Amino acid sequence: MSIIDEKWINETWEKLDKKLSRVAVEYRDAITYTTEEGKKYNNTANDKDINWWTNGFWPGLMWIMYDSTGNEEYRKTAENAEKLLDKALRNYDKLDHDLGFMWHLSAGANYRLTGNRDSYVRNMFAANTLAGRYNIKGEFIRAWNQPEKKGWAIIDCMMNIPLLYWASQETGDERYKYIAMSHADKTLKHHIRPDGSVNHIVCYDPETGEEMETLGGQGYGVGSSWSRGQAWGVYGFTLSYIHTAEEKYLDAAKKVANYFIAACCDDYLPKCDFRAPEEPVLYDSSAGLIAACGLIELSRVVPEFESKMYFNAACNIIKAIVENFADWSEDSDAIVTHCTTSYGAGKHWTLVYADFYLAEALNKLKGINTFLW
Ligand code: GLY
């Protein structure tokens, strides 16, 4: 018996659809990221921000809503955002490993849901560029472009490699999948700690692939436990298992998931870093919702006797966030509050990807199951 019932899911969904159907039309020619003073969305479809890593989540959110409701307004906004992103695809020097977030959720979603050929081509360009970032000797995908970061890899990339699994599936060419699995293997070995917590950044020697050091990245510090990094691990390894059926990825997903659940089960409202001092109190709702989507998928692939634990944990997290950190008023364009970009930024934001994962979670709970990964 789930801790949330159909009535709660349907009522929450109705509020989501009501707000987003207004926002979708208002931001028809934009790509949204966060809300500013006055709680209006900003627009990252400008020359400076068009390569921002989150720019696929707005069209991805629109595709989830379109697939769930059939409302054409969502589709039109998603298609516009995808076209705006063409500029980012041509900014070759600014492309980094976030090609998955940016195109698999925009062009990839369009192709999956409508069969659009132009979208297929965009996503294949993104996949090939991501594959080109693979360090052959080091056996990892390079995260960023700065020369001094040539050997840096981050846990977030586990959510970008589904683009490579997709490319292999579409073309029948195993090389993309090989690169994805090689990166996943390296991540498993170097990012996942024995207790199930996760290193955000691992710096390798770019010539040999030897681990040099780990960094706290967007978390509190070295050895801490940035909750969104944990969440990328939960969902990322679950997806690698779904795409490959390799038990080692399922085991990794469970290990990180067990740690995540234990770290937030007092109130199911994840802090920004599970190993930060008591003060200041910084939450990250985005981490909770990413993890919740991963936990629902995980609950579907583990044996029955384990399934309920992951599903109920996901429901607890979703319910806690909706009841404490959701703004359904029309004063704000965004829904989910109390997200953080990083521990160092020291404040709460709204983030479009938190709304994306809320929609994905509710879409799963409603049994629609739009799969974009
Ligand atoms: N991928 C960057 C972040 O999660 O903030």
pLDDT tens-digit readout, 340-352: 999 999 999 999 9
Position 3 pLDDT exceeds 90? no
Place of tokens 């044996």: 303
How does pLDDT run across 291-321, given as a tens digit for each residue?
999 999 999 999 999 999 999 999 999 999 9
Q: Indicate the length of the chain as a whole number.
A: 373
Here the tokens at position 236 are: 């990322």
Give the position, in ligand 1's atom list, of the atom nearest the Cα of 156.
1
pLDDT of 185: 98
CA-closest candidate to residue 242, choices 253, 231, 232 = 253
DSSP symbol at 149: G
Return d(Cα 21, Cα 115) in angstroms, integer. 24
pTM for the model: 0.98
- HSE-CB at 162 with a 13 A cutoff on CA atoms is 23
Is the peptide bond between 280 and the residue preceding it cis, with omega within 30 degrees of 0? yes
Helix (H) or strand (E) holding 41: strand 41-43
CB 138 within 8 A of CB 208: yes
pLDDT of 34: 98
Position 242 pLDDT exceeds 60? yes
Position 1 pLDDT exceeds 60? no
Position 37 pLDDT exceeds 90? no
CA-closest candidate to residue 34, choices 55, 20, 48, 50 = 55
Position 373 pLDDT exceeds 90? yes
At 228, is the pLDDT very low, low, confident or very high (cuts 50, 70, 90)? Answer: very high
How much of the chain exceeds pLDDT 90, in percent? 98
Distance from Cα 291 to the centre of ligand 1, integer Å = 14
Using a 6 Å CB cutoff, which residues line ligand 1? Answer: 53, 156, 218, 228
Cβ neighbours around 69 below 10 Å, total = 16
Give the position, in ligand 1's atom list, of the atom nearest the Cα of 341.
5
